[in-house]
Amino acid sequence: MAKYNKPSAAWINLWVLLGLSAIPYVTLAAQVSSKSMAQVSQLDQGLAAQQAVLLQFARCIGQSSNRKQLKRSMQDKDSGVARRIQNRCLSPQDRQILTRAPANTSDNGDSSGYFQSMSYGLGPSAAVYYGAGVDGGWIWNFNGDGPTRPYLTGSTGKGLQANLGADPVIIGVYRSGVAPGNSKSTVVIGSVEVGVGVTAGLIYKRDTIHYSNEDFQGFMVAVGAGAGFNVGSEYKTRTRIFRVACRDVKVEATNETGKQVKVIDIDYHDYTKGKWRSKIIPNKKLASGKVYKKTFKKLSKVGGEQTQIRVEYRTLIKDGFFKKWSEVKRDWSSKGYCDKGATFAVTLD
């Protein structure tokens, strides 16, 4: 999978919550030509359906209970909570809309999979000519390929600006997939912000000059309370995408063989690497009808990803002083996300 890089952005203003029409683009002297801004404007118009979905999603995230859960999931790096928020605030139909190409491009808005990933989080900012901001949250792939991962972005910049953002919801949709690592970007902002509003922007490759459709990488919206103005600012950003830990994982294996068994090994599947990883355990005899329970403090390399548990065991063939055991047998759990406190059930039969 290609490494995710959060690239440059040329921001525009969108006043949907205020019920006003979009404020015209500001010409960014020596940065963006009027022809380039016309291309940006045209592309933005083709994203109206996607932007409407993100606004609805942002309002859902902004609800008190969801906002508290989001903050807690970020503190605990609990991707399970993050996915529950995603499912609660974003329907399958909404996700399908978000993956489509802009309506006025050569793809005619019908190309499912044009956008591959989405991020959402919270982040305050403040500026008087020189500005700084930080946002953190979760990023994930629409097709479910790969984990939901936490990210953190810091930015510094300068320009004609004076503003204060009060913990807004920040959402991005990207054409690239998700992979852990650092990325840098240059963000060009052109907007005017007053009161409670929505700022929307288009994202381009780093160091892009012409802002052509070929360089277009995604779009973003920020929703929240704030006041001030921001015209022609340029920001340097650094993004880090983290792995999540899969901790306190429970395995429950029920013996339905009708015989005594001896559990000898427990493995879990790393789908990213295409391999089974083993957890060393002491052999454990288990009578028929009984349940073997084991809690692992951590399963490495699969945090927030789908995994599967495999239990290896032998059945008792002959009892007595010299016991005889069968060849190694295996049974598997269903696939599931490796989140904090997850439970995987296996039937030995």
Give me the CATH code for the 246-348 domain, please.
Answer: 2.60.40
The whole-angstrom separation of Cα 141 and Cα 201 is 20
Assess whether pLDDT exceeds 70 at residue 319.
yes
Of 294, 336, 104, the C-alpha closest to 216 is 104
So where are the chain's domains? 8-241, 246-348
- What pLDDT does 290 receive? 97
- Please tell me the predicted confidence (pLDDT) of residue 312: 98
Q: What is the pLDDT of residues 205-214, one digit of tens each?
A: 655 445 555 5
Q: Output DSSP code: residue 194.
A: -
For the chain, how many residues are written?
349
Tell me, yes or no, if the pTM score tops 0.85. no
Asked whether the beta carbons of 309 and 266 are under 8 A apart, the reply is yes
Q: What is the mean pLDDT of residues 272-285?
A: 93
If one counts every other C-beta atom within 10 angstroms of the C-beta of residue 192, the result is 16
Residue 24 has pLDDT above 60, yes or no: no
183, 4 contact by CB (below 8 A): yes
CA torsion, points 161, 164, 20, 219, in degrees to nearest 10?
80
Contact 102, 47 (CB under 8 A): yes
150, pLDDT greater than 70: yes
Instruction: Render pLDDT for 182-194 as a digit per residue (tens, 0 to 9).
Output: 665 554 443 433 3
- Rounded mean pLDDT, 23-44: 44
pLDDT at 334: 96
* More confident: 322 or 198: 322
Q: What is the model's pLDDT at position 270?
A: 92
- Tell me: pLDDT of 78 over 70: yes
